[in-house]
Structure 1
Amino acid sequence: MTETKARRRAPGMSPERRREMILQAALPLVAEYGAAVTTAQIARAAAIGEATIFRVFADKEELLSACVARALDPAHMLAEIAAIPLDQPLADRLREAAEAMRAYLERMGSVIGALHASGARRGRPDAGDGGGGGPVSREESFARTREAVAELFEPDRDTLRRPPEKLAAIFLGMLFVRPAARDGEAETVALDDIIEVFLNGAVA
């Protein structure tokens, strides 16, 4: 009987992989419940015992800090932008990049907003909490995003009126000042309209 159980036992998981698995399970729960989420809920979502959480996180506060760091980390968004095929039309490239950025901002906003609404202690996460080498400043995040978007312009460099880096900064500026939709209303400025005016101008 003991030998059978041993054969069926899952192979050992590294602390890094276990940490990642817990974070993946915790993020949507933190976005929903904020600081009120329990480690028991997270353990059930990750299909592990609650004690397993505390093998890689000292306490719940450290786990919540890691969730904040992960929500702020733009690495996933940047990878999505880098994966956009460069052989498709520029408008399509920009649309995919904008959607990746929108999803990132929504994820970040849902986690930070839920924690704030539930009265969690404010403050920036400690270095390393998110497992990605430390938190990324807002300036660094914007710079890396601008570089990634600039790469999308490179195939059309010879036909551009401005360098890719400058066009990327202008495009991001237009996206980030787009007014948000109010309750019950359609989006005030559609993404396709922004891309159309950006590429073709406002004057016919």
Structure 2
Amino acid sequence: MRDMTPPETGKRRAPAMSPEQRRDMIVRAAIPLVIAHGSSVTTRQIAQAAGIGEGTIFRVFADKDELLQACVAEALSPGNSLAELASIDLGLPLAERLAEAADVLRAHLDRIGAVIGALHTTGGRTRTERPAGGPLPERDDRGMTATRDAVAELFAPERESLRLPPEQLAQLFLGLLLTHPDDEPDTAALVYVFLHGALTHDHDPDD
């Protein structure tokens, strides 16, 4: 008897992306190119990296400048770093928790610097700049507050042994990370000094 099963017509298509999902996908593909080329990156390069037609970019972005501003906004967004901070194992020793947090936050800051620096170097304008003759943009502290709270959670298991509340310690720790000295200590040294102070153990404070 002849098999009446209809032949397969090929793989099932993936569900269509929403405009927001497509924007996010394009921005993720664009950021490494923005870091490499700054504002001289072309929409054709971005489309190739994203695996889409160039016209698709202009279905969700008005122009290249809007796309570049979206890349800056994504770099500034603390979303990824907050997720990584929340995933740090609270069962680890405090020094290890803080070392992981420092690496996460430094990577976030490096990404911001790379994106904004590349645009500045190539003459691009970012939304963090003051418009000619205009006021400075309003400061949005929500991201910093969320980051401080996420770091404070890392101190919570030692709450009874802390000299200061976790929120204050988190603010101090972030202050160390945000200073960016030219000869910035490595992560282990920074965490050690933060937890144990600047003096060596064999130093006699009465000398």
TM range (shorter): 0.7 to 0.9
Post-superposition Cα deviations, 1:166-200, rounded to whole Å, max 9, x if no partner, equal 1111111222225234xxxxxx4222112112112
TM-score by length of 2: 0.82
Residue pair 2:72, 2:126 contacting (<8 A) in 1 also: no
Tell me the equivalent position of 2:168: 166
Residues 51 and 180 (structure 1), Cα distance of their counterparts in 2 relative to 1, 3 Å cut: same
Tell me the equivalent position of 1:11: 15
Tell me the equivalent position of 2:159: 157
Residues 173 and 11 (structure 1), Cα distance of their counterparts in 2 relative to 1, 3 Å cut: closer
Match status 1:49 vs 2:53: yes
Equivalent pairs: percent with the same residue? 56
> Which of residues 186, 192, 195 in structure 2 aligns to 1:196?
192
Tell me the equivalent position of 1:63: 67
> Which of residues 179, 182, 190 in structure 2 aligns to 1:180?
182
Residue pair 2:90, 2:157 contacting (<8 A) in 1 also: yes
Tell me the equivalent position of 2:29: 25
In the TM superposition, what is the alpha-carbon distance from 1:108 to its structure 2 partner?
0.6
In the TM superposition, what is the alpha-carbon distance from 1:162 to its structure 2 partner?
1.1
> Which of residues 139, 142, 155 in structure 1 aligns to 2:141?
139
Note the residue ranges of structure 2 that are not aligned, 5 or more in a row.
1-7, 130-136, 202-207
Give 2:56's aligned amino acid. T
Residue pair 2:38, 2:122 contacting (<8 A) in 1 also: yes
Tell me the equivalent position of 2:79: 75
Larger radius of gyration: 2
Residue pair 1:73, 1:136 contacting (<8 A) in 2 also: no
Match status 1:119 vs 2:120: no
In the TM superposition, what is the alpha-carbon distance from 1:8 to its structure 2 partner?
5.6
Residues 93 and 136 (structure 1), Cα distance of their counterparts in 2 relative to 1, 3 Å cut: farther
Count the aligned residue pairs: 186
- What is the alpha-carbon distance in structure 2 between the residues aligned to residue 136 and residue 19 of structure 1? 25
